[in-house]
Amino acid sequence: MSLQDKYRELIDLASEVGTTDLQVREQDNVLYIDGTVKSAADKEKLWNSYGEIDPDYRSADVVMNIEVAESVSREYTVEVGDSLSKIGKAYGVSWKDIFEANKDIISNPDLIQPGWKLKIPTV
């Protein structure tokens, strides 16, 4: 069984989520998967798929170089009473996408502070 056969589900998912510049190649018994996805959530889906095929990542036969496209529609300044869910609802994005786009600022998604300037990702 080739590595592309073993990881067919992962490769197909990469196509389904719209990975741009997707490149899949085998070299020295390692499968390389490169490309760019639209969101951190899509990248997470790919890693979860890989984890289902090789739960402990012991095979060491895949290298995924998946980048997340940096697309920010605007910046939002947190106000008293805000939550990521409330902000997300106003902009039509999930709170998780806002959290992922601002991990450099937010360590706990339940604790945001007024005055913080958050990046709001595009949908």
Taking only the tens place, the pLDDT of each residue in 9-18 is 999 999 999 9
Q: What is the DSSP letter of 11?
A: H
How far apart (Å, rounded) are the C-alpha atoms in residues 32 and 26?
A: 6
CB 94 within 8 A of CB 87: no
pTM: 0.58
Taking only the tens place, the pLDDT of each residue in 58-114 is 888 999 999 888 665 688 999 999 999 999 999 888 999 999 889 999 999 999 999
* pLDDT band for position 48 (cuts 50, 70, 90): very high
